[in-house]
Chain A
Amino acid sequence: MLVGAIFLVLLLIGMPIGFTIGLAGLAGLVSMGGERFLATGVSKLFAGLDSFPFLAMPFFILAGEIMNHIGITQQLMRFAHVLVGHFRGGLAHANMIASVFFAGLTGAATADAAAFGKTLVPAMVAQGYRRDYACAVTAAGSIIGPTIPPSGLMVVYGSLLGVSIGGLFAAGILPGLFICAVCMGIIALGAKRNKLPDPEPRAPLKVVAKTFAKSFAALLMPVIILGGILGGVVTPTEAASVAVAYAFFLGVVVYRNLGARDLYAMLLSTARITGVIFVIIAFASMLGWWMSFERVPQAIAQAVFAISENKWVIILLIVAVLLLVGMVMDITAILIILAPVLVPLATAIGLEPIHSGIIFVLALNISLMTPPVGACLFVLSSVTGERLEAIAMKLWPFLIAEIGVLLLFAYWDGLALLVPRLLGFL
């Protein structure tokens, strides 16, 4: 209780989340009484990071940085536009399709939101879309990125819980495509009410072919990553390093717009993002050790099962907890703190670890765009200058649709595990 109170108070007075977890953990260690616990706590900082699969995270971040820098993102948007520009609200649809392409390159929703917010949102506004609507579409699409592999969140989940990262990646493909489809449905349904611009003429086949040829190098990237991992050629960590090599090759040899100075900046920015995430992982493993030693997860599980032992209720509880906490906290931190507590619950009611993983990842990704704390909302708001509340007002139909997808995959394990099963991860 004391540790929980310290955690909350520190979080509310603006202590960075990683340090909050560290101080709460320290309080726990002190309460155990005895200096040797304080000494062991420090060893947990190292042990918590000492995992080879974690490496995939900085590598995917770095690959995404390079891809953004060398202009791949814009190339993919153009290609998406010639594909679906002739529908009513064509640019909005193109935004979704581009998110799917982009998803194969990057593991982070904020990267998607930033890149699209800088380029697609102004383009949509110029074509007559309302800016808040354009931002909402971008936010809704940005979570396709970390749902379709590669996904940093899946790397963390798989590494922490010893679940196959390849299997999680496989499980992410279908929900990612579902989210794209339902969002395009929402765009079409709301076209009139949102006064979306009229369709543009269909791009001639020649233009489509030409744009495709130009984007080919970029579209090859997901093929390399996914094909490599799902086809069993490489492990996820190796695939991530191959992705970096490929992006590096494109930047230096093909596009010739990647200099030593840029590289320095990208290596540094990758390291800094990694540091921000890893400080949370490190201190969380210290806090987590105290929790395991004091059998806190077992106590929480008992409390939950006292409410109900029904599988459907427990799944709903897990989803609700993730979405609610996701409203106010960083999702990586939530994953690291709550997974060791909630996953045993899911296992106890018979969920496959990969199925629990996809529920976690979907719920946390959705909470990237729930106010008040939603990383994608912040990024879009700061990039476009649109008010957060205004984006949120246009966002809720997408939000509801995406929660619908989440519940579908949470309750229908046959669907959730279809691709991992087909690819032999189960």
Chain B
Amino acid sequence: AQSAQIRIAHDNNPDPYDNPAHACAAVLKNIIETDSNGDVAVEIYPNASIGTATEAVQMVRDGIIEISLSSTGAMAPYYPNIDVLNLPFAFADNGATYEVFDGKFGAALAADMEATLGDVKILGFPDTGGFFAVTNSVHEIATLDDFKDVRVRTMTVPSHQAIMNALGAEAYPLAWGEVYSALQTGVIEGQMNPIPIISFSNFQEVQGFMTLTNHLFSPYTLVMNKDVYDSLSDENKNIVQYATQACVSASRGLSRIIEASDRGIAGLSKGMKITALSPEDRVKMREVTQAAFDKHVDENLSEEGQALVALFKEEVAKANASVFMSGE
């Protein structure tokens, strides 16, 4: 007989090869069920079928479900300090994001989240599909000046709007459901998202240009109900921990694979001109946006939040400088 039931909610299609969210959830389910020999049953609710990502966090806290895969946007109403992660143009490469979120900063972030919310256990930070890219229908964006007056859709996240405005673009918050037709009809001219989302939404049909700005990295937070986690046997806790590790790896792996496949840059390049930034242009963009971000942080985040920003910058700098398997 089983001793615990875990229900996992996310808002993507129930196909592990389609998106990092279900890849992660499927890996969790598989490892937890088999390694506990059926002692813990896992059920997945995909496609936001029982509520939006924001509601899912509340449901974890209320004990309605046990785990949710929550975007930073979904966490923000409960944990304003998540804004720390919106430090623009921070990471040099994907490997640096792994180091930062698996390391000292990830642990500090999880601890602050657990302390702030009080009723959750943070398991880890799976990949949502990698760095943000900017697409638009006006002209190629290669330099800072090219952003001028391009109307770019963002989520209703103040720091995202501040970043886009700092680049010289015009930030334009819009509900997700209207984005495709708004791009198509020209109500808005551009948008920013990770590459899997851009290709999944077929934005190459309505956008002519994509710039690999890599200006944001926004992981999921794997949130679990604290009481349920605490009630697990030590053995089952251990299983959940290493299942999470595998889930995070799977999300990263699938994200890199999508980027490299026809659903990534290869496929998107058939519909859009793709531009990578020169190091010099990237530095210019980093300067203007980080200044705007620092101002935003000073005005909006608590002391703990500001301390987290400092730690984040420190750890990112270390990770950017580190070399894979150098023994550090």
Contact = CB atoms under 8 A, between A and B. Distances in A.
Chain A–chain B contact at Cβ < 8 A = yes
Interface of A: 36-37, 39-40, 43-44, 47, 51-53, 158-159, 162-167, 230-235, 289, 292-293, 424-425
A47 B48 CA distance: 13
Contact of B181 (A40, A52, A289, A425): A425
Given A47-B51, A52-B175, A163-B177, A231 B64 contact: no
B76 interface: no
A166 B185 contact: yes
A68 to B, nearest CB: 29
Task: Give the dominant DSSP class at A's interface.
Answer: helix
Interface string B22-65: 00000000000000000000000100011110010011001110
Given A37-B64, A43-B58, A234-B187, A424 B206 contact: yes
A167 B181 contact: yes
18 contacts: A37-B64, A40-B62, A40-B64, A47-B51, A47-B52, A52-B175, A159-B177, A164-B180, A164-B181, A165-B178, A166-B178, A166-B181, A166-B185, A167-B181, A289-B50, A293-B50, A425-B181, A425-B184
B268 to A, nearest CB: 19
Given A37-B64, A39-B62, A424-B206, A231 B185 contact: yes
Interface string B79-105: 000000000000000000000000000
Enumerate the 4 nearest inter-chain pairs by beta-carbon distance, A residue then B residue, closest first.
A232-B185, A162-B177, A164-B181, A292-B49
Contacts of A51: 175
Given A53-B177, A289-B51, A232 B186 contact: yes
A232 B187 contact: yes
Nearest to A229: B185
A167 B176 CA distance: 15
Contact of B178 (A235, A289, A293): A235
Given A43-B58, A235-B182, A425-B184, A164 B52 contact: no
Given A40-B62, A158-B177, A425-B181, 10 more contacts: A36-B63, A51-B175, A164-B180, A232-B181, A232-B185, A233-B185, A235-B178, A292-B50, A424-B184, A424-B206
A304 B88 CA distance: 50
Interface string B142-163: 0000000000000000000000
Nearest to A234: B187
Given A163-B177, A289-B50, A424-B206, A232 B184 contact: yes
A215 to B, nearest CB: 28
Residue with the highest number of chain B CB atoms closer than 10 Å, among A158, A159, A293: A293
B61 to A, nearest CB: 10
A43 B184 contact: no
B45 to A, nearest CB: 8
A36 B62 contact: yes
Contacts of B63: 36
A230 B187 CA distance: 11
Interface string B182-220: 101111000000000000000000100000000000000
A162 B184 CA distance: 16
A243 to B, nearest CB: 17
Contacts of A43: 55, 58
A276 B175 CA distance: 25
A164 B177 contact: yes
Residue with the highest number of chain B CB atoms closer than 10 Å, among A39, A53, A289: A289
Contacts of A44: 51
A157 to B, nearest CB: 12
A232 B206 CA distance: 13
A65 to B, nearest CB: 26
A149 to B, nearest CB: 13
Contacts of A231: 185
Residue with the highest number of chain A CB atoms closer than 10 Å, among B177, B181, B182: B181
A40 B175 contact: no
A207 B187 CA distance: 40
B175 A53 contact: yes
A424 B64 CA distance: 41
Contacts of A233: 185, 187
